[in-house]
Structure 1
Amino acid sequence: MSDIKLLITFKDDLYNYSIEQLRYIPVEGVWSIGQMYDHLIVVAHEYLDRMEECAALNEEQPFGKTQFGEQLFEDGGFPPIKIRLPDELNAPPNNSDSKEELISRMEQLIQRMTHWETKVDYIHPTKKSEHGGFGWLNAKEWYDLVGMHFRHHLRQKDELERYLA
């Protein structure tokens, strides 16, 4: 499944939830489905911002990825584990958006991804910006990271849906 089709599937799934289900926090320290969506959307835009930074760069960057970054891209995605960021980077996502707001935000993200889908391959691969954990990524890698991140959260989505059953 292409990354854009994956995002469309995520967006379409929003229609199946009530506002109570979107905001339901099953256990302290566990996000609601709405918070997971907020997180995915915010991070995707951060990755696309970095992709656009690469597109605007004039200088080339000789540095590469970290060992974890190399493994991530070699595997084509995140390992099947829960990843917890340090507390200072792990503020709880927004849990107040309506279903309509989340759908609109997903549509905007899909439009942005679609806009760049055919352009990203033409951005020179030596124009890079640094990711704190993965090292120096080029525009295509930042773009691909969006889909990898969404796929990584499929397990969390399934887990959160089981709480609703």
Structure 2
Amino acid sequence: MDNLKLIDAYKGFLQNYSRKQLRYIPEQGVWSIGQMYDHLIVSAQDYLDHVEDCASAGREQEEGKTEFGESIFSTGGFPPIKITLPDEMNAPPDNSKSREVLILELEQLMTRVKEWEKNLGDINQKYKAEHGGFGWLNAREWFALIEMHFRHHLRQKDDLDKRLGLKADH
């Protein structure tokens, strides 16, 4: 599934949640559906910022990926585990956004994805930006992270749906 289809699917899933369900935190340390959406959108925008960094790098970078980064890109996705970030990178996402705001932000993300998708082939693959866990990634790799990350969170969405008494819908 490509970025736009997956983001569009998430946009469609939003129709299933009431305001209360979007903000429901089932237990301490577990995000609400709304927080998961905020995290996905903020992360994807950050990945696109790094695509932009690569496009304007101006000099080649010979450094490569970490072992974990190599693993993720060789398998084409994140492992089916909960990944916990260090505390300084793990502030809880925003839990106050409405469905309408999240849909608008997903649409803005889709517009930006379309713009960069057209230009990826023009960016020197040796122009890279560093990811804290995966090492040095080029623009195509940063772009690929969007789909991998959205796909990874489908498991979390299914778990949250179960906690809300809803059926999985993907």
Identity %: 61
Cα RMSD after superposing both structures: 0.7
Structure 1 runs of 4+ aligned residues shifted over 4 Å read none
Aligned counterpart, 1:162: 162
Q: C-alpha separation between the residues in 2 aligned to 1:62 and 1:54?
A: 13
Could you list the runs of 5+ residues in structure 1 that have no partner in the other structure?
none
Alignment of 1:1-165 (within 5 A): 1-165=1-165
Q: C-alpha separation between the residues in 2 aligned to 1:55 and 1:36?
A: 29
Q: C-alpha separation between the residues in 1 aligned to 2:150 and 2:72?
A: 14
Q: C-alpha separation between the residues in 2 aligned to 1:115 and 1:12?
A: 22
Q: Deviations over 1:86-136 (max 9, x none)?
A: 111111100000110000001000111111112112211000010011000
Q: Deviations over 1:18-53 (max 9, x none)?
A: 100100011111000000000000010111000100
Q: C-alpha separation between the residues in 2 aligned to 1:28 and 1:116?
A: 37
**Code of the aligned partner of 1:132:** G
Q: C-alpha separation between the residues in 1 aligned to 2:40 and 2:72?
A: 18
**Code of the aligned partner of 1:30:** V
Q: C-alpha separation between the residues in 2 aligned to 1:133 and 1:85?
A: 10
Could you list the runs of 5+ residues in structure 2 that have no partner in the other structure?
166-170
**Code of the aligned partner of 2:117:** E
Q: C-alpha separation between the residues in 2 aligned to 1:116 and 1:87?
A: 31
Q: C-alpha separation between the residues in 2 aligned to 1:87 and 1:128?
A: 26
Q: C-alpha separation between the residues in 2 aligned to 1:86 and 1:136?
A: 19
TM-score under structure 1 normalisation? 0.98
Q: C-alpha separation between the residues in 2 aligned to 1:160 and 1:8?
A: 19
Aligned residue for 1:133, secondary structure, equals coil
